Structure 1
Protein backbone atom coordinates (compact mmCIF):
# COMPACT_ATOMS: atom_id res chain seq x y z
CA UNK A 1 0.00 0.00 0.00
CA UNK A 2 2.78 2.46 0.90
CA UNK A 3 4.59 1.63 -2.35
CA UNK A 4 1.50 2.64 -4.34
CA UNK A 5 1.16 5.83 -2.29
CA UNK A 6 4.76 6.82 -2.99
CA UNK A 7 4.36 6.11 -6.72
CA UNK A 8 1.17 8.19 -6.80
CA UNK A 9 2.89 11.09 -5.01
CA UNK A 10 5.84 10.91 -7.39
CA UNK A 11 3.48 11.03 -10.38
CA UNK A 12 1.63 14.01 -8.87
CA UNK A 13 4.93 15.81 -8.25
CA UNK A 14 6.02 15.21 -11.85
CA UNK A 15 2.79 16.54 -13.40
CA UNK A 16 3.48 20.23 -12.70
CA UNK A 17 7.09 19.76 -13.83
CA UNK A 18 5.93 18.40 -17.18
CA UNK A 19 3.55 21.34 -17.55
CA UNK A 20 6.41 23.69 -16.78
CA UNK A 21 8.65 21.96 -19.35
CA UNK A 22 6.00 22.58 -22.02
CA UNK A 23 5.75 26.27 -21.09
CA UNK A 24 9.47 26.90 -20.54
CA UNK A 25 10.22 27.11 -24.26
CA UNK A 26 8.12 30.29 -24.34
CA UNK A 27 9.58 31.89 -21.21
CA UNK A 28 13.06 33.27 -20.67
CA UNK A 29 15.65 30.85 -19.30
CA UNK A 30 17.61 33.46 -17.30
CA UNK A 31 17.18 34.09 -13.58
CA UNK A 32 14.92 37.03 -12.75
CA UNK A 33 15.08 38.38 -9.15
CA UNK A 34 11.59 39.86 -9.58
CA UNK A 35 10.23 36.30 -9.62
CA UNK A 36 11.45 35.52 -6.09
CA UNK A 37 8.57 34.95 -3.69
CA UNK A 38 8.67 34.78 0.09
CA UNK A 39 6.25 34.37 2.93
CA UNK A 40 5.17 31.70 5.33
CA UNK A 41 2.30 29.96 6.99
CA UNK A 42 0.68 29.50 10.31
CA UNK A 43 -1.33 26.32 10.80
CA UNK A 44 -3.32 24.65 13.52
CA UNK A 45 -5.30 21.48 13.99
CA UNK A 46 -7.44 20.12 16.75
CA UNK A 47 -9.77 17.36 17.74
CA UNK A 48 -11.36 16.34 21.03
CA UNK A 49 -8.07 15.69 22.85
CA UNK A 50 -5.42 16.96 20.39
CA UNK A 51 -4.16 20.31 19.20
CA UNK A 52 -1.16 21.45 17.16
CA UNK A 53 0.43 24.70 16.00
CA UNK A 54 2.83 25.13 13.07
CA UNK A 55 4.95 28.10 11.88
CA UNK A 56 6.77 27.79 8.56
CA UNK A 57 8.66 30.59 6.71
CA UNK A 58 9.14 29.93 2.96
CA UNK A 59 11.11 31.28 -0.02
CA UNK A 60 10.51 30.34 -3.62
CA UNK A 61 10.59 31.23 -7.29
CA UNK A 62 7.90 31.75 -9.94
CA UNK A 63 8.81 29.34 -12.72
CA UNK A 64 5.67 30.49 -14.57
CA UNK A 65 2.62 32.49 -13.58
CA UNK A 66 0.88 29.22 -12.69
CA UNK A 67 3.70 27.20 -11.14
CA UNK A 68 5.83 28.21 -8.15
CA UNK A 69 8.44 26.13 -6.29
CA UNK A 70 10.53 26.72 -3.20
CA UNK A 71 11.75 25.57 0.19
CA UNK A 72 11.30 26.43 3.82
CA UNK A 73 11.83 25.52 7.42
CA UNK A 74 9.28 24.99 10.14
CA UNK A 75 8.62 24.53 13.80
CA UNK A 76 5.58 22.86 15.31
CA UNK A 77 4.24 21.95 18.71
CA UNK A 78 1.54 19.40 19.48
CA UNK A 79 -0.15 18.14 22.62
CA UNK A 80 -2.54 15.26 23.29
CA UNK A 81 -4.32 14.68 26.62
CA UNK A 82 -6.62 11.75 27.31
CA UNK A 83 -6.68 11.18 31.05
CA UNK A 84 -9.21 8.66 32.30
CA UNK A 85 -10.05 6.52 35.33
CA UNK A 86 -10.08 2.75 35.73
CA UNK A 87 -11.63 0.56 38.41
CA UNK A 88 -8.89 -1.66 39.83
CA UNK A 89 -7.86 -3.86 42.75
CA UNK A 90 -6.16 -2.15 45.69
CA UNK A 91 -2.74 -3.73 46.22
CA UNK A 92 -1.79 -5.07 49.63
CA UNK A 93 -5.31 -5.86 50.76
CA UNK A 94 -3.98 -8.82 52.76
CA UNK A 95 -6.84 -11.28 52.44
CA UNK A 96 -7.44 -12.40 48.82
CA UNK A 97 -11.11 -13.15 49.68
CA UNK A 98 -11.68 -9.58 50.78
CA UNK A 99 -10.03 -7.68 47.91
CA UNK A 100 -10.82 -3.99 47.67
CA UNK A 101 -11.45 -2.01 44.47
CA UNK A 102 -11.21 1.71 43.77
CA UNK A 103 -11.09 4.21 40.91
CA UNK A 104 -7.54 5.13 39.84
CA UNK A 105 -6.66 8.05 37.54
CA UNK A 106 -4.52 7.01 34.56
CA UNK A 107 -2.68 9.57 32.42
CA UNK A 108 -2.31 9.05 28.69
CA UNK A 109 -0.81 12.18 27.16
CA UNK A 110 2.18 13.56 25.31
CA UNK A 111 3.84 16.78 24.18
CA UNK A 112 6.06 17.09 21.16
CA UNK A 113 8.14 19.66 19.34
CA UNK A 114 9.37 19.41 15.77
CA UNK A 115 11.80 21.18 13.45
CA UNK A 116 11.50 20.57 9.73
CA UNK A 117 12.79 21.25 6.23
CA UNK A 118 10.37 21.23 3.30
CA UNK A 119 10.09 21.71 -0.43
CA UNK A 120 6.89 23.04 -1.95
CA UNK A 121 5.14 23.28 -5.29
CA UNK A 122 2.14 25.55 -5.77
CA UNK A 123 0.01 25.26 -8.88
CA UNK A 124 -2.66 27.78 -9.89
CA UNK A 125 -5.06 25.97 -12.26
CA UNK A 126 -7.63 28.77 -12.35
CA UNK A 127 -7.43 32.39 -11.20
CA UNK A 128 -7.13 32.46 -7.38
CA UNK A 129 -7.41 28.69 -6.85
CA UNK A 130 -4.21 27.10 -5.48
CA UNK A 131 -3.22 23.44 -5.25
CA UNK A 132 -0.13 22.60 -3.23
CA UNK A 133 2.20 19.72 -2.54
CA UNK A 134 4.72 19.90 0.32
CA UNK A 135 7.06 16.98 1.07
CA UNK A 136 8.80 17.49 4.39
CA UNK A 137 11.30 15.79 6.69
CA UNK A 138 10.67 16.50 10.34
CA UNK A 139 12.84 15.87 13.39
CA UNK A 140 10.44 15.25 16.26
CA UNK A 141 11.25 14.94 19.94
CA UNK A 142 8.56 14.20 22.44
CA UNK A 143 7.74 13.30 26.03
CA UNK A 144 4.92 10.91 26.78
CA UNK A 145 3.09 9.67 29.83
CA UNK A 146 1.21 6.51 28.84
CA UNK A 147 -0.63 4.67 31.60
CA UNK A 148 1.54 6.51 34.17
CA UNK A 149 4.78 5.33 32.49
CA UNK A 150 6.94 8.26 31.35
CA UNK A 151 9.35 8.16 28.41
CA UNK A 152 10.81 10.35 25.68
CA UNK A 153 12.09 9.74 22.18
CA UNK A 154 13.52 11.46 19.07
CA UNK A 155 12.38 10.54 15.55
CA UNK A 156 12.84 11.62 11.94
CA UNK A 157 9.37 11.64 10.37
CA UNK A 158 8.52 11.77 6.62
CA UNK A 159 5.52 13.94 5.77
CA UNK A 160 3.62 14.78 2.59
CA UNK A 161 0.99 17.51 2.81
CA UNK A 162 -1.50 18.21 0.03
CA UNK A 163 -3.67 21.28 0.10
CA UNK A 164 -6.24 23.27 -1.83
CA UNK A 165 -7.51 26.75 -1.24
CA UNK A 166 -7.48 30.34 -2.38
CA UNK A 167 -4.65 32.84 -2.85
CA UNK A 168 -6.18 36.22 -2.06
CA UNK A 169 -2.93 38.17 -2.29
CA UNK A 170 -1.02 38.21 -0.08
CA UNK A 171 -3.03 35.66 1.94
CA UNK A 172 -3.26 31.95 1.18
CA UNK A 173 -6.14 30.12 2.88
CA UNK A 174 -5.95 26.35 2.51
CA UNK A 175 -7.44 23.12 3.76
CA UNK A 176 -4.67 20.54 4.07
CA UNK A 177 -4.26 16.86 4.73
CA UNK A 178 -1.14 14.92 5.72
CA UNK A 179 -0.99 11.77 3.58
CA UNK A 180 1.51 9.48 5.30
CA UNK A 181 -0.06 9.67 8.79
CA UNK A 182 3.09 8.54 10.62
CA UNK A 183 2.30 7.97 14.29
CA UNK A 184 5.03 10.46 15.28
CA UNK A 185 3.82 13.27 13.01
CA UNK A 186 2.87 16.47 14.79
CA UNK A 187 0.17 17.22 12.20
CA UNK A 188 -3.46 16.48 12.95
CA UNK A 189 -4.87 13.25 11.54
CA UNK A 190 -7.84 15.31 10.31
CA UNK A 191 -8.10 17.95 7.59
CA UNK A 192 -6.53 21.12 8.97
CA UNK A 193 -6.59 24.80 8.09
CA UNK A 194 -3.51 26.86 7.30
CA UNK A 195 -3.28 30.60 6.79
CA UNK A 196 -0.19 31.81 4.97
CA UNK A 197 1.16 34.83 3.17
CA UNK A 198 3.19 34.94 -0.02
CA UNK A 199 4.64 38.11 -1.55
Structure 2
Protein backbone atom coordinates (compact mmCIF):
# COMPACT_ATOMS: atom_id res chain seq x y z
CA UNK A 1 0.00 0.00 0.00
CA UNK A 2 1.39 3.29 -1.02
CA UNK A 3 0.58 6.50 0.95
CA UNK A 4 0.36 9.59 -1.24
CA UNK A 5 2.76 12.45 -0.44
CA UNK A 6 -0.25 14.74 -0.35
CA UNK A 7 -1.39 12.91 2.82
CA UNK A 8 1.51 14.43 4.84
CA UNK A 9 1.77 17.85 3.22
CA UNK A 10 -1.87 18.88 3.58
CA UNK A 11 -1.97 18.77 7.44
CA UNK A 12 1.47 20.42 7.73
CA UNK A 13 0.65 23.33 5.40
CA UNK A 14 -1.03 25.52 8.09
CA UNK A 15 1.82 24.84 10.52
CA UNK A 16 4.46 25.76 7.95
CA UNK A 17 2.53 28.90 7.00
CA UNK A 18 2.40 30.00 10.66
CA UNK A 19 6.11 29.31 11.06
CA UNK A 20 7.02 31.40 8.02
CA UNK A 21 4.79 34.25 9.20
CA UNK A 22 6.30 34.15 12.71
CA UNK A 23 9.96 34.31 11.63
CA UNK A 24 9.82 37.80 10.03
CA UNK A 25 7.87 39.11 13.03
CA UNK A 26 10.40 37.69 15.47
CA UNK A 27 13.22 39.25 13.48
CA UNK A 28 11.76 42.71 14.20
CA UNK A 29 12.64 42.42 17.91
CA UNK A 30 16.36 42.86 17.29
CA UNK A 31 18.01 45.29 19.72
CA UNK A 32 21.10 47.07 18.43
CA UNK A 33 24.32 46.57 20.38
CA UNK A 34 24.71 49.13 23.12
CA UNK A 35 21.00 49.41 23.94
CA UNK A 36 20.42 49.01 27.69
CA UNK A 37 19.64 45.52 28.93
CA UNK A 38 17.21 44.56 31.67
CA UNK A 39 19.69 45.15 34.51
CA UNK A 40 20.67 48.55 33.16
CA UNK A 41 17.05 49.73 33.29
CA UNK A 42 16.57 48.99 37.02
CA UNK A 43 16.92 51.91 39.42
CA UNK A 44 17.01 51.67 43.20
CA UNK A 45 15.86 54.14 45.82
CA UNK A 46 13.57 54.57 48.76
CA UNK A 47 13.46 56.44 52.00
CA UNK A 48 14.78 56.27 55.52
CA UNK A 49 13.55 58.27 58.46
CA UNK A 50 14.17 58.79 62.16
CA UNK A 51 12.12 60.86 64.57
CA UNK A 52 12.80 61.81 68.17
CA UNK A 53 10.76 63.84 70.62
CA UNK A 54 10.01 63.89 74.34
CA UNK A 55 9.59 60.16 75.17
CA UNK A 56 8.85 59.43 71.49
CA UNK A 57 10.82 57.51 68.84
CA UNK A 58 10.04 56.52 65.26
CA UNK A 59 12.05 54.82 62.51
CA UNK A 60 11.17 54.01 58.90
CA UNK A 61 12.98 52.02 56.24
CA UNK A 62 11.31 51.84 52.80
CA UNK A 63 13.48 50.53 49.94
CA UNK A 64 12.12 50.36 46.40
CA UNK A 65 13.17 49.43 42.87
CA UNK A 66 11.75 50.54 39.54
CA UNK A 67 12.17 49.30 36.00
CA UNK A 68 12.52 52.07 33.40
CA UNK A 69 10.28 50.71 30.61
CA UNK A 70 11.03 53.66 28.30
CA UNK A 71 12.08 57.31 28.81
CA UNK A 72 8.54 58.22 29.91
CA UNK A 73 7.30 55.28 31.99
CA UNK A 74 8.67 53.28 34.94
CA UNK A 75 7.07 50.68 37.19
CA UNK A 76 8.27 48.94 40.31
CA UNK A 77 7.80 47.63 43.82
CA UNK A 78 8.60 48.83 47.31
CA UNK A 79 8.75 47.56 50.88
CA UNK A 80 7.92 49.47 54.05
CA UNK A 81 8.89 48.91 57.67
CA UNK A 82 8.08 51.44 60.40
CA UNK A 83 8.28 51.38 64.16
CA UNK A 84 7.05 54.04 66.57
CA UNK A 85 6.73 54.19 70.34
CA UNK A 86 5.78 56.67 72.98
CA UNK A 87 6.85 55.83 76.52
CA UNK A 88 3.98 54.63 78.74
CA UNK A 89 1.45 55.07 75.90
CA UNK A 90 1.81 52.83 72.82
CA UNK A 91 4.02 50.93 70.36
CA UNK A 92 3.27 50.59 66.67
CA UNK A 93 4.76 48.31 64.01
CA UNK A 94 3.94 48.70 60.32
CA UNK A 95 5.04 46.27 57.60
CA UNK A 96 3.90 46.30 53.98
CA UNK A 97 4.58 46.66 50.30
CA UNK A 98 3.64 48.79 47.34
CA UNK A 99 3.31 48.80 43.55
CA UNK A 100 4.57 51.96 41.87
CA UNK A 101 3.95 53.51 38.43
CA UNK A 102 5.76 56.68 37.33
CA UNK A 103 5.01 58.72 34.20
CA UNK A 104 7.26 61.58 33.07
CA UNK A 105 5.57 63.40 30.14
CA UNK A 106 8.24 66.13 30.22
CA UNK A 107 11.60 66.07 31.97
CA UNK A 108 10.52 68.37 34.84
CA UNK A 109 7.13 66.75 35.62
CA UNK A 110 6.60 63.33 37.16
CA UNK A 111 3.10 61.88 37.69
CA UNK A 112 2.75 58.88 39.96
CA UNK A 113 0.32 56.21 41.11
CA UNK A 114 1.17 53.95 44.03
CA UNK A 115 -0.87 51.23 45.68
CA UNK A 116 0.30 50.47 49.20
CA UNK A 117 -0.92 47.67 51.50
CA UNK A 118 0.21 47.91 55.13
CA UNK A 119 -0.20 45.64 58.14
CA UNK A 120 -0.60 47.92 61.15
CA UNK A 121 -0.19 46.73 64.76
CA UNK A 122 -0.92 49.23 67.53
CA UNK A 123 -0.34 48.13 71.11
CA UNK A 124 -1.42 50.45 73.93
CA UNK A 125 -0.57 50.36 77.62
CA UNK A 126 -3.41 48.45 79.29
CA UNK A 127 -4.04 51.05 81.99
CA UNK A 128 -5.11 53.67 79.42
CA UNK A 129 -8.29 51.94 78.24
CA UNK A 130 -7.41 51.85 74.52
CA UNK A 131 -7.87 48.60 72.61
CA UNK A 132 -4.91 47.04 70.81
CA UNK A 133 -5.49 46.79 67.07
CA UNK A 134 -4.03 44.81 64.21
CA UNK A 135 -5.38 45.39 60.70
CA UNK A 136 -4.52 45.77 57.01
CA UNK A 137 -4.73 49.24 55.54
CA UNK A 138 -4.76 49.95 51.77
CA UNK A 139 -3.77 53.29 50.29
CA UNK A 140 -3.91 54.46 46.69
CA UNK A 141 -1.77 57.54 46.08
CA UNK A 142 -2.00 59.77 43.01
CA UNK A 143 0.72 62.38 42.87
CA UNK A 144 2.65 64.96 40.93
CA UNK A 145 6.14 66.26 41.44
CA UNK A 146 8.97 68.39 40.11
CA UNK A 147 11.67 66.12 38.69
CA UNK A 148 15.31 67.20 38.92
CA UNK A 149 17.51 64.29 37.84
CA UNK A 150 17.35 61.43 40.36
CA UNK A 151 15.32 63.53 42.86
CA UNK A 152 11.60 64.37 42.67
CA UNK A 153 9.78 66.74 45.07
CA UNK A 154 6.01 66.68 45.10
CA UNK A 155 2.71 65.96 46.75
CA UNK A 156 0.45 62.91 46.59
CA UNK A 157 -3.15 62.28 47.59
CA UNK A 158 -4.54 59.08 49.14
CA UNK A 159 -7.89 58.49 47.41
CA UNK A 160 -8.72 55.68 49.90
CA UNK A 161 -7.93 57.79 52.98
CA UNK A 162 -9.67 56.70 56.21
CA UNK A 163 -9.01 59.07 59.11
CA UNK A 164 -9.54 56.34 61.73
CA UNK A 165 -7.21 53.71 60.23
CA UNK A 166 -4.61 55.59 58.20
CA UNK A 167 -1.08 55.87 59.51
CA UNK A 168 -0.91 59.27 57.82
CA UNK A 169 -2.34 62.38 59.47
CA UNK A 170 -3.81 63.72 56.23
CA UNK A 171 -4.79 62.50 52.75
CA UNK A 172 -2.36 65.04 51.20
CA UNK A 173 1.25 64.00 51.76
CA UNK A 174 4.40 65.75 50.53
CA UNK A 175 7.19 63.48 49.27
CA UNK A 176 10.81 63.41 48.20
CA UNK A 177 11.60 60.50 45.88
CA UNK A 178 15.19 59.49 45.00
CA UNK A 179 16.23 56.80 42.48
CA UNK A 180 19.75 55.96 41.30
Q: Which residue number in structure 1 is paired with residue 108 of structure 2?
A: 128
Match of 1:119 among 99, 103, 106: 99
Shift of 1:160: 0.8
- Between the two proteins, the alignment pairs up a number of residues equal to 141
Q: Which residue number in structure 2 is paired with residue 73 of structure 1?
A: 79
Q: Is the CA contact 1:131–1:164 (under 8 Å) kept in the aligned structure 2?
A: yes
Match of 1:191 among 143, 160, 172: 172
Equivalent residues in 2 for 1:150-161, closer than 5 Å: 150-161=130-141
Output one character per residue of 1:57-103: Cα deviation in whole Å (capped at 9) or x when no partner.
Answer: 111111110000000101235689xxxxxxxxxxxxxxxxxxxxxxx
Q: Which residue number in structure 1 is paired with residue 65 of structure 2?
A: 59
Using the alignment, how far apart are the partners of 1:123 and 1:39 within structure 2? 17
Using the alignment, how far apart are the partners of 1:32 and 1:119 within structure 2? 19
Q: Which runs of 5+ in 1 are unaligned?
A: 1-24, 45-51, 81-108
TM-score by length of 2: 0.64
Deviates more, 1:141-150 or 1:152-161: 141-150
Q: Which runs of 5+ in 2 are unaligned?
A: 1-27, 51-57
TM-score by length of 1: 0.59
Using the alignment, how far apart are the partners of 2:73 and 2:90 within structure 1? 39
1 or 2, which has the higher strand percentage?
A: 1
Pairwise CA RMSD of aligned residues? 3.4
Equivalent residues in 2 for 1:1-199, closer than 5 Å: 32-42=38-48, 54-77=60-83, 112-144=92-124, 148-182=128-162, 183-199=164-180
In structure 2, relative to structure 1, the CA distance for the partners of 1:31 and 1:72 (3 Å cut) is same
Using the alignment, how far apart are the partners of 1:122 and 1:110 within structure 2? 36
